[in-house]
Amino acid sequence: MKRAVFPGSFDPITKGHLDIIERSTGLFDEIVIAVLDNPDKRPMFSSGERCEMISEVVEQMETGNCALKVDSFSGLLVDYVKSVNGQVIVRGLRAVSDYEYELRMALMNRHLEPGIETVFLMAAEEYSYVSSRLLKQVFQLGGSVDRLIPELVEKRMRDKQKREKE
Protein backbone atom coordinates (compact mmCIF):
# COMPACT_ATOMS: atom_id res chain seq x y z
CA MET A 1 0.00 0.00 0.00
CA LYS A 2 1.70 3.20 -1.20
CA ARG A 3 0.42 6.26 0.61
CA ALA A 4 1.57 9.67 -0.57
CA VAL A 5 1.03 13.07 0.97
CA PHE A 6 0.53 16.09 -1.28
CA PRO A 7 1.14 19.06 1.02
CA GLY A 8 0.60 22.73 0.35
CA SER A 9 -1.01 25.97 1.36
CA PHE A 10 -3.73 25.59 -1.30
CA ASP A 11 -4.92 29.15 -0.69
CA PRO A 12 -6.84 28.46 -2.86
CA ILE A 13 -6.50 25.21 -4.81
CA THR A 14 -5.81 25.85 -8.53
CA LYS A 15 -6.18 23.74 -11.64
CA GLY A 16 -2.41 23.32 -11.49
CA HIS A 17 -2.76 21.55 -8.13
CA LEU A 18 -5.59 19.42 -9.52
CA ASP A 19 -3.41 18.44 -12.45
CA ILE A 20 -0.73 17.17 -10.03
CA ILE A 21 -3.35 15.28 -7.98
CA GLU A 22 -4.71 13.63 -11.13
CA ARG A 23 -1.23 12.58 -12.22
CA SER A 24 -0.50 11.17 -8.73
CA THR A 25 -3.59 8.98 -8.73
CA GLY A 26 -1.96 6.74 -11.31
CA LEU A 27 1.06 6.18 -9.07
CA PHE A 28 -0.21 5.65 -5.52
CA ASP A 29 -2.90 3.70 -3.67
CA GLU A 30 -3.82 6.64 -1.48
CA ILE A 31 -3.10 10.35 -1.61
CA VAL A 32 -3.61 12.59 1.38
CA ILE A 33 -3.99 16.21 0.33
CA ALA A 34 -2.55 17.97 3.37
CA VAL A 35 -3.46 21.62 3.87
CA LEU A 36 -1.02 23.64 5.93
CA ASP A 37 -2.81 25.38 8.79
CA ASN A 38 -0.90 28.66 8.67
CA PRO A 39 -2.92 31.45 10.34
CA ASP A 40 0.26 33.61 10.75
CA LYS A 41 0.48 33.94 6.96
CA ARG A 42 -3.02 35.52 7.00
CA PRO A 43 -4.44 33.27 4.28
CA MET A 44 -7.46 34.28 2.24
CA PHE A 45 -9.28 31.10 3.35
CA SER A 46 -9.06 29.33 6.72
CA SER A 47 -7.65 25.81 6.63
CA GLY A 48 -11.19 24.51 7.25
CA GLU A 49 -12.50 26.43 4.25
CA ARG A 50 -9.61 25.24 2.07
CA CYS A 51 -10.20 21.59 3.07
CA GLU A 52 -13.90 21.93 2.36
CA MET A 53 -13.30 23.39 -1.11
CA ILE A 54 -10.71 20.74 -1.98
CA SER A 55 -13.02 17.93 -0.83
CA GLU A 56 -15.84 19.27 -2.99
CA VAL A 57 -13.59 19.66 -6.04
CA VAL A 58 -11.87 16.27 -5.83
CA GLU A 59 -15.17 14.49 -5.25
CA GLN A 60 -15.83 14.86 -8.98
CA MET A 61 -12.42 13.51 -9.97
CA GLU A 62 -11.97 10.13 -11.65
CA THR A 63 -9.34 8.46 -9.44
CA GLY A 64 -9.42 4.80 -10.48
CA ASN A 65 -8.22 2.63 -7.61
CA CYS A 66 -6.58 5.48 -5.76
CA ALA A 67 -8.26 6.81 -2.61
CA LEU A 68 -8.12 10.56 -2.00
CA LYS A 69 -8.27 12.10 1.47
CA VAL A 70 -8.17 15.71 2.54
CA ASP A 71 -6.72 16.79 5.88
CA SER A 72 -5.01 19.77 7.50
CA PHE A 73 -1.75 19.82 9.41
CA SER A 74 0.48 22.13 11.39
CA GLY A 75 4.06 21.69 12.55
CA LEU A 76 6.66 19.74 10.61
CA LEU A 77 5.51 18.10 7.41
CA VAL A 78 7.60 14.96 8.00
CA ASP A 79 5.95 14.47 11.41
CA TYR A 80 2.57 14.68 9.75
CA VAL A 81 3.59 12.24 7.00
CA LYS A 82 4.78 9.76 9.64
CA SER A 83 1.56 10.19 11.63
CA VAL A 84 -0.48 9.01 8.63
CA ASN A 85 2.02 6.27 7.73
CA GLY A 86 2.89 7.94 4.45
CA GLN A 87 6.05 6.98 2.55
CA VAL A 88 6.15 9.70 -0.09
CA ILE A 89 5.74 13.47 -0.34
CA VAL A 90 4.46 14.65 -3.73
CA ARG A 91 5.29 18.12 -5.00
CA GLY A 92 4.60 19.72 -8.35
CA LEU A 93 7.25 21.51 -10.38
CA ARG A 94 6.20 24.23 -12.79
CA ALA A 95 9.33 25.98 -13.95
CA VAL A 96 13.05 25.94 -13.19
CA SER A 97 12.39 28.78 -10.72
CA ASP A 98 10.56 26.30 -8.45
CA TYR A 99 13.51 23.98 -8.35
CA GLU A 100 15.75 25.72 -5.84
CA TYR A 101 13.05 26.15 -3.19
CA GLU A 102 11.76 22.61 -3.75
CA LEU A 103 15.25 21.11 -3.62
CA ARG A 104 15.97 22.81 -0.29
CA MET A 105 12.69 21.59 1.16
CA ALA A 106 13.16 18.04 -0.14
CA LEU A 107 16.71 17.85 1.24
CA MET A 108 15.68 19.31 4.60
CA ASN A 109 12.83 16.82 4.83
CA ARG A 110 15.23 14.01 3.93
CA HIS A 111 17.65 15.22 6.61
CA LEU A 112 14.79 15.16 9.15
CA GLU A 113 13.36 11.85 7.99
CA PRO A 114 15.50 9.77 5.59
CA GLY A 115 12.75 7.18 5.21
CA ILE A 116 10.39 9.59 3.45
CA GLU A 117 11.04 10.21 -0.24
CA THR A 118 9.98 13.34 -2.14
CA VAL A 119 8.65 12.77 -5.64
CA PHE A 120 8.30 15.64 -8.11
CA LEU A 121 5.72 15.68 -10.86
CA MET A 122 5.79 18.12 -13.74
CA ALA A 123 2.70 20.29 -13.99
CA ALA A 124 0.91 20.56 -17.34
CA GLU A 125 2.40 23.33 -19.50
CA GLU A 126 -0.87 25.26 -19.56
CA TYR A 127 -0.65 25.74 -15.78
CA SER A 128 3.08 26.38 -15.60
CA TYR A 129 2.54 30.05 -14.73
CA VAL A 130 -0.36 29.51 -12.30
CA SER A 131 0.21 30.08 -8.61
CA SER A 132 -2.29 30.76 -5.81
CA ARG A 133 -0.41 33.97 -4.94
CA LEU A 134 -0.64 35.42 -8.47
CA LEU A 135 -4.24 34.30 -8.85
CA LYS A 136 -5.26 36.12 -5.68
CA GLN A 137 -3.47 39.25 -6.84
CA VAL A 138 -5.12 39.19 -10.27
CA PHE A 139 -8.52 38.44 -8.73
CA GLN A 140 -8.23 41.25 -6.18
CA LEU A 141 -7.35 43.68 -8.96
CA GLY A 142 -10.40 42.65 -10.97
CA GLY A 143 -8.68 40.43 -13.55
CA SER A 144 -10.15 37.20 -14.87
CA VAL A 145 -9.02 33.96 -13.23
CA ASP A 146 -11.56 31.64 -14.83
CA ARG A 147 -10.13 28.50 -16.44
CA LEU A 148 -7.27 28.61 -13.89
CA ILE A 149 -9.29 27.64 -10.82
CA PRO A 150 -12.32 25.39 -10.40
CA GLU A 151 -15.65 27.25 -10.77
CA LEU A 152 -16.59 26.47 -7.19
CA VAL A 153 -13.40 28.11 -5.92
CA GLU A 154 -13.96 31.22 -8.02
CA LYS A 155 -17.46 31.49 -6.60
CA ARG A 156 -16.10 31.22 -3.04
CA MET A 157 -13.58 33.95 -3.83
CA ARG A 158 -16.32 36.21 -5.19
CA ASP A 159 -18.53 35.53 -2.14
CA LYS A 160 -15.67 36.35 0.19
CA GLN A 161 -14.87 39.56 -1.66
CA LYS A 162 -18.52 40.61 -1.55
CA ARG A 163 -18.75 39.93 2.20
CA GLU A 164 -15.57 41.91 2.85
CA LYS A 165 -16.96 44.92 0.95
CA GLU A 166 -20.24 44.88 2.93
In the list 48, 61, 67, 76, the residue contacting ligand PNS (rule: CB under 6 A) is 76
Measured between its terminal Cα atoms, the distance across the chain in Å is 49
Interface with ligand PNS: number of residues (CB under 6 A): 9
CA gap 87, 78 in Å, rounded: 10
- Distances in whole angstroms, Cα of residue 121 to Cα of each of 22, 48, 52, 57, 63: 11, 26, 24, 20, 17
CB of 67 to ligand PNS, least distance (A): 21
Residue 109 in contact with ligand PNS, rule: CB under 6 A: yes
Of 15, 50, 91, 94, the catalytic one is: 94
**Smallest separation (angstroms) from ligand PNS to the CB of 85:** 17
Task: Tell which one of 4, 5, 6, 9 touches ligand PNS (CB under 6 A).
Answer: 9
**Considering only residues 22-41, where is the footprint of ligand PNS by CB under 6 A?**
36
Q: How many angstroms separate the CA atoms of 151 and 143, rounded?
A: 15
Rounded to whole angstroms, the Cα distance separating 153 from 53 reads 7
Nearest Cα neighbor of 54 from 66, 45, 42, 65 is 45
Q: Is 155 a catalytic residue?
A: no
Active site positions, annotated: 17, 41, 94, 132
Contacts with ligand PNS, residue ranges (CB under 6 A): 7-9, 36, 76-77, 105, 108-109
